[in-house]
Amino acid sequence: MAITQISRITHRKGLGENLPQLAGAELGWALDQRKLYIGNGKVADGAPAVGNTEILTEYSDILGISAGYTFKGSEAGYTVVTGVDANNPVTRTLQKKFDDFASVRDFGAKGDGSTDDTAAIQRALDQLFIQQTNPKVRRSLFFPAGTYIVSDEIRIPAYAKLWGEGANSSIIKYSDGSVATYCFRTADSLGQTGVNITNGGATAPTDIQVYDMGLHSDNDNHILLVESATDCSFHGVSFKGPKTTASISAASNKACILVEGTTLLPTSNMLFDSITTEGTGYGLYSEYDTSSLSITNAKFTVHYIAISLGANPLPVGHSGPSACRIQQSLFDDIHSHGILITNVSKNISAFNLFLDVGNAFNGSNTGNSVSTIIDIDTANNLSYGDMFERNDTENATDKRINLNETQSIGTNGGLQLQLGTYAIDSGKTATLSDNTSSATTFATIDLENTHVDNNLANFNVNYSIKRDGIYRTGTMRVCGDGSSSLTYSEDYEENSASGIVLSATQSSNDVTLQYTTSSTGQDATISFSIERLY
């Protein structure tokens, strides 16, 4: 419209708390806040409301005063309704929108691979999860891709949710520090750890979740300590220490994941899913009270022992871990045991794959073995469906699964079922050729790997023979004291004379099962399995 008059503009200044109602077009300057206001004027003159309007400056809280954000979506042909109907959308301030989640960089972390971000990361965790008991204050803490250097222990309190952009993208690395025994550890709702957990009415570590991040260390520390924690999970997290296959030895006693608990505050219901561990003496170690620990779809590599549950002896007053499940995971480049279970019960290993394990990092070729792959020392544990790259002919004392005369159960790949000291091989089949007058071998039993005593030949051969309508079933019992001579006997039933004679001989550590056949014009087929006591 045309300007018909220019009015004189007046000014006021003073403290923000003393700002009065300004006249229309009158300016007011808040000295302490460095904010500028202009009076709205009278409604009668056309103002929509009486009051003062802030004029934006570099000191204005732009996000706080903006109440104009409404989710709209951006796809063509798509109209979103955020409120009760299209005419009443939900509107929020930009500040509330951005506060839906928090970035660790909002608290000063750089993630540039050189700045020490210890204080910034701990400040973020404390402010989001410790300062207030109101659950509405808690926010997921986002770690944008980068390497965040820390030089002291990071405490992850109860209810914390940490998110990264990938195990190889968002990495927190403990570096150049010698203060902490643990790089990272769980804490209660007041940030307390160790014997102080739950002091002052605090909630024990619970509901901690870490996703898609790397927790690494350049120092020989325990990387993560989980203590007296419940209902926590780690998904897609890589745990990496400084050790290599050249530097790991039996003296390497640090763990990527150390799990501890007490009788009053045991650790329970923990999930480690799709994690990787590398470069420490142990991948996961627990000898304290722990239950319902689940490890699934994990990869353990470059350790002396990958997983150790229990100890000999257990710590005084502790019963050790139980109800732990290790399943569908990969073990590779493990110097000694893949899984060691000692003085504890009700733990399960199932459907895991063991490659270069128990071979001192020398591959799975014959003669490289230095230990059993799965070693179970106590009753009521289970290995089921585990598969192995190494076979059982490598070394007399280094079986793939060793139950140590306990009442536990193991399935040795698809080859053998072992129940305590009793074992039965999966069935085998051989052809017994027609008209064979000289004793001919159809199977060889390596005594070094079929009994706790190297040369002791004490086993049964359960068999069934079929030859052109003739059927025979029986058991051959083989017994020897370790010398080159042994005795055997046979009980069988057949529906007609089969013309087959079975025998056994021993040479050093090997027992050969042999046969002769009459001439009928038909070969025979024998299906058999070996059962024995270890």
Convert the pLDDT of each residue in 253-271 to its tens digit. 999 999 999 889 999 999 9
Domain shared by 21 and 141, yes or no: no
Looking from the CA of 271 toward its CB, the CA atoms found within 13 Å total 15
- Kindly indicate the confidence band of residue 451, based on its pLDDT and cuts at 50, 70 and 90: very low
Distance, CA of 171 to chain centre: 17
- Kindly indicate the confidence band of residue 208, based on its pLDDT and cuts at 50, 70 and 90: very high
Question: Is position 413 within any domain?
Answer: no
Q: Which residues have CB under 8 Å from 180's CB, separation 6+? A: 152, 153, 174, 221
1 pLDDT more than 50:
no
- Kindly indicate the confidence band of residue 287, based on its pLDDT and cuts at 50, 70 and 90: very high
Which stretch of DSSP H or E encloses residue 28? strand 27-30
Question: Is position 375 within any domain?
Answer: no
pLDDT above 70 covers what percent of the chain?
A: 88
- Kindly indicate the confidence band of residue 204, based on its pLDDT and cuts at 50, 70 and 90: very high
| pLDDT at residue number 9 | 56
Domain shared by 35 and 168, yes or no: no
Mean pLDDT, residues 348-367 taken together: 88
DSSP-derived pairing of the beta strands 238-240 and 330-334: unpaired
Whole-angstrom distance, CA of residue 209 vs CA of residue 365:
41
Lowest mean pLDDT among 80-84, 166-170, 244-248, 303-307: 80-84
Mean pLDDT, residues 421-434 taken together: 86
Domain boundary among 340, 356, 372: 356
Whole-angstrom distance, CA of residue 208 vs CA of residue 260:
16
Domain count, the chain: 3
CA distances from 238 to 217, 234, 326, 357 (A): 11, 10, 17, 20
245 pLDDT more than 50:
yes
Mean pLDDT, residues 208-231 taken together: 96
Mean pLDDT, residues 504-519 taken together: 88
Whole-angstrom distance, CA of residue 400 vs CA of residue 416:
11
Domain shared by 343 and 492, yes or no: no
| pLDDT at residue number 91 | 78
Question: Is position 411 within any domain?
Answer: no
481 pLDDT more than 80:
no
Domain shared by 170 and 288, yes or no: yes
How many H helices and E strands in the chain?
3, 44
Closest CA to 390 of 407, 413, 406: 413
| pLDDT at residue number 415 | 66
Cα angle at 416 between 414 and 418, to 5 degrees? 130
Domain shared by 34 and 150, yes or no: no
Whole-angstrom distance, CA of residue 143 vs CA of residue 472:
70
Tokens of 240: 């990496």
296 pLDDT more than 60:
yes
DSSP-derived pairing of the beta strands 112-116 and 146-150: parallel
Domain shared by 48 and 115, yes or no: no
Domain shared by 54 and 112, yes or no: no
Q: Name the one residue in this structure whose structure tokens are 């403990």.
A: 174
Domain boundary among 356, 382, 416: 356
Domain shared by 269 and 189, yes or no: yes
Burial of 134 per CB tally in 10 Å (0-12, 13-18, 19+): exposed
Whole-angstrom distance, CA of residue 267 vs CA of residue 201:
19
Mean pLDDT, residues 391-409 taken together: 69
Question: Is position 70 within any domain?
Answer: no
- Kindly indicate the confidence band of residue 4, based on its pLDDT and cuts at 50, 70 and 90: very low
Domain boundary among 311, 326, 356: 356
Highest-scoring range by mean pLDDT, 34-38, 94-98, 241-245:
241-245
Question: Is position 396 within any domain?
Answer: no
Lowest mean pLDDT among 110-119, 182-191, 439-448, 522-531: 439-448
The SS3 assignment for 517 reads strand
Domain shared by 134 and 274, yes or no: yes
Q: What is the CA radius of gyration of the chain?
A: 36
- Kindly indicate the confidence band of residue 448, based on its pLDDT and cuts at 50, 70 and 90: low
DSSP state of 94: H
DSSP-derived pairing of the beta strands 440-446 and 510-517: antiparallel
243 pLDDT more than 80:
yes
Residue 22 lies in domain: 11-60
| pLDDT at residue number 2 | 47
Whole-angstrom distance, CA of residue 160 vs CA of residue 198:
16
| pLDDT at residue number 506 | 84
pLDDT of 185-197, one tens digit each? 999 999 999 999 9
Lowest mean pLDDT among 214-228, 235-249, 400-414: 400-414
DSSP-derived pairing of the beta strands 11-14 and 27-30: parallel
121 with 81: CB under 8 angstroms? no
Whole-angstrom distance, CA of residue 103 vs CA of residue 110:
11
Mean pLDDT, residues 365-391 taken together: 86
352 pLDDT more than 90:
yes
Mean pLDDT, residues 373-380 taken together: 90
More confident residue, 399 or 272: 272
Whole-angstrom distance, CA of residue 530 vs CA of residue 446:
12
pLDDT of 51-109, one tens digit each? 888 888 877 776 666 667 777 776 656 677 878 887 888 877 777 777 777 899 999 99
DSSP β-bridge partners for residue 464 = 473, 527
- Kindly indicate the confidence band of residue 365, based on its pLDDT and cuts at 50, 70 and 90: low
Domain shared by 43 and 159, yes or no: no
392 pLDDT more than 90:
no
Question: Is position 385 within any domain?
Answer: no
By residue count, the chain amounts to 534
Looking from the CA of 289 toward its CB, the CA atoms found within 13 Å total 13
| pLDDT at residue number 288 | 94
More confident residue, 157 or 86: 157
Instruction: Tell me the average pLDDT of the chain.
Output: 87
Which stretch of DSSP H or E encloses residue 154? strand 154-156
Question: Is position 405 within any domain?
Answer: no
257 with 263: CB under 8 angstroms? no
Domain shared by 169 and 226, yes or no: yes
Domain shared by 214 and 312, yes or no: yes
CATH of the domain at 495: 2.60.40.1680
Question: Is position 109 within any domain?
Answer: yes
pLDDT of 309-323, one tens digit each? 999 999 998 999 999
Q: Name the one residue in this structure whose structure tokens are 């989980």.
A: 226
